[in-house]
């Protein structure tokens, strides 16, 4: 998914429900510059790999992005490990939707 959504001025929402991310290997700049992106939806069982994924600035300049538990964008949280469900124990940028 290298550069897949990079520098898109819209949409405000992306829906990854039903998408299986377990085989992802490259998230380099995937959402970089998505200045209007606010919400990314995913299934509650989102299985992002815990290793073996290359990335650089996956969420760079996604200023409006907020996870379902309230985690807001921070320049210190731009790597792929935040491409996960937002919980108190594991801050991320994904929102579970019914």
Task: Work out how many domains the chain is built from and give that number.
Answer: 1
Q: What confidence score (pLDDT) does residue 56 get?
A: 83
**Got the DSSP string for 40-69?**
EEE-TT----SSS-B-SSTTTT-TT-B-TT
pLDDT for 9: 75
pLDDT score recorded for residue 17: 94
Residue 84 has pLDDT above 90, yes or no: yes
- 27/87 Cα distance (integer angstroms): 21
Tell me the average pLDDT across 29-51: 90
Confidence band, pLDDT 50/70/90 cuts, at residue 98: low
Write down the pTM of the prediction.
Answer: 0.91
The pLDDT confidence band at residue 88, using thresholds 50, 70 and 90, is: very high
For 37, the domain range is: 1-98
């Amino acid at each position: 998914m290298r550069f897949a959504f990079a520098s898109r001025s819209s949409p405000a929402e992306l829906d990854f429900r039903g998408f299986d991310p377990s085989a992802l290997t490259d998230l380099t700049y995937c959402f970089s510059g998505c200045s209007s992106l606010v919400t990314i939806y995913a299934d509650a069982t989102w299985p992002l790999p815990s290793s073996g994924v290359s990335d650089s600035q996956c969420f760079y300049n996604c200023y409006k992005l907020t996870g379902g538990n309230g985690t807001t964008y921070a320049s210190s949280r731009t790597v792929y490990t935040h491409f996960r469900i937002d919980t108190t124990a594991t801050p991320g940028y994904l929102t579970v939707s019914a």
